[in-house]
Amino acid sequence: MKRREFVKKGTLILAATPVFSSMAASLSPINRTINIAVIGTGDRGSGLIPFINEIPGVRVAACCDVLDFRLKHGLKRAGKQAKAYTDYKKLLEDDTIDAVLISTPFATHGKIALDALKAGKHVYCEKTMTRGYQEIKQMVDAAQASGKIVQTGHQYHSSRLYSEVVRLINQGKIGKITTFECQWNRNWDWRRPVPDPSLERAINWRMYREYSGGLAAELCSHQIDFVNWVTQSTPEFVMGVGGIDYWKDGRETYDNIHLVYQYPKGIKATFMCLTSNAKDDYQIKIMGDKGTLILDYNKVWFYPEGGFDQKKTIGDVDGVSGATITNNWVDGKGIPLPFNHEDPSKQALMDFRDSIHSGIQPISNVITGGHTAIAVQMAIDAMDEKKVVYWKDVSPF
């Protein structure tokens, strides 16, 4: 099977069909609350706990972290029903736990996820799914053999706003796509306060290559996942540069990166991530021959090609409610498209619950997560080795 056919068919099969094996029959009954354990109760893990508590049919049954103060913070948010663990392997022995949410440092995702699948747990694994081409393949193989739900934490893949944007693109809203321009800029050193110097690497793990994939894995991965989704493909090759050029503080991961991917049909996608300038913050531009869609965290604008007369109305531009938009052009961005939706992280967790009940793999699954993880690893290799990295040379499946 050709690579492009594999990408399309593999993604569609996982997103639209029952779990890989008949083991789906062993899932918790729909009328029983799903017990989720949060492994890693730092900023992200603890930040997701309130969402879980708001979602009917799920609850945080346990928290696990190797740092005492973070474990206590997670437990405080989870509530009195949550058990405490400092060793995730002991947690996996608990038969009352149905699923785990893995929000530990990037380099530990794969090992924990593999152990969780072996223990018979469903897995929600924060982005990026794992690192290294062979570990990515191990994750895919283990998920397919387990019959369990595996969702990757690219929450924008669950966003109903982003789903609507993909629908508009597929309907030809902006014509033939030629380019994506993506950025995630901040003016911040990306560091967390450290109560004791001995905890520097444990707390600021994003700064150190032993634990982190840097900006490509922690930020750009969301947007890479989106481009894969829209194009229904994976990149053919990537080139890029990065450096530690601004924050001279002992970090090992780059403080700025610039990537260029080529996708099938000549589509180019650029990704810029800065920590020294926050202009325009997070943004994705999808550029076609009929117009441009501009996305931020929770809004989208349509910028038509060929000009726009603000005195005229444009019917049905939102593609959802059929509302007519008049005289609300935003300079530099175009026409805002109104759309109501849940917080993407909360929606992703709701999707995880629904997948466990239905036995149908989520839209952000082990294949889509694996493809994004490969593309991220390609970018890291391209920057580190100062070379063009081709998908055909590195993809393990």
Contact indicator for 146, 117 with CB cutoff of 8 Å:
yes
pLDDT of residue 316: 43
Q: For a pLDDT cut of 90, what percent of the chain falls above it?
A: 83
Distance CA 27, CA 60 (A): 18
- Bridging pattern class, strands 122-126 and 325-326: unpaired
| pLDDT, mean of residues 44-63 | 97
pLDDT of residue 310: 54
The pLDDT tens digits of the residues spanning 246-266 come to 999 999 999 999 999 999 999
Other residues' Cβ atoms within 10 Å of the Cβ of residue 307:
5
Tokens of 233: 């493909």
Confidence at 18, pLDDT banded by 50, 70, 90: very low
Confidence at 31, pLDDT banded by 50, 70, 90: low
What b/e string do you get for 377-395 counting C-beta neighbours within 10 Å, with b at 16 or more?
Answer: bbbbbbbeeeeebebeeeb
Distance CA 270, CA 239 (A): 10
pLDDT of residue 341: 86
For 83, the 3-state DSSP assignment is strand
Confidence at 339, pLDDT banded by 50, 70, 90: confident
Q: Mean pLDDT across the chain, nearest whole number?
A: 90
How would you list the strands of the sheet with 335-336, edge to edge? 335-336, 300-304, 291-295, 282-288, 177-184, 268-274, 256-262, 237-243, 389-390
Residue 267 has pLDDT above 50, yes or no: yes
Question: Structure pTM?
Answer: 0.90
Tokens of 159: 């966003």
| Number of residues that make up the chain | 397
The string of DSSP letters for 184-222 reads E--BS------SSGGGHHHHSGGG-TTT--HHIIIIIHH
Confidence at 308, pLDDT banded by 50, 70, 90: low
Which carries the bigger pLDDT value, residue 7 or residue 20?
Answer: 7
Contact indicator for 118, 143 with CB cutoff of 8 Å:
no
Distance CA 171, CA 165 (A): 10
Distances in Å between the Cα of 105 and the Cα atoms of 126, 143, 310, 332, 373 are 9, 21, 49, 38, 15
Distance CA 376, CA 223 (A): 11
For 123, the 3-state DSSP assignment is strand
Distance CA 337, CA 281 (A): 20
| pLDDT, mean of residues 131-148 | 97
The pLDDT tens digits of the residues spanning 181-233 come to 999 999 999 999 999 999 999 999 999 999 999 999 999 999 999 999 999 99
The string of DSSP letters for 282-323 reads EEEEEEESSEEEEE-SS-EEEEETT---TTSEETTTTSSS-P
Residue 27 has pLDDT above 90, yes or no: no
| pLDDT, mean of residues 381-394 | 98
Confidence at 16, pLDDT banded by 50, 70, 90: very low
Residue 117 has pLDDT above 60, yes or no: yes
Among residues 368, 222, 232, the alpha carbon closest in space to that of 295 is found at 222
pLDDT of residue 101: 98
Radius of gyration in angstroms for the set of CA atoms belonging to the chain, rounded to a whole number: 21
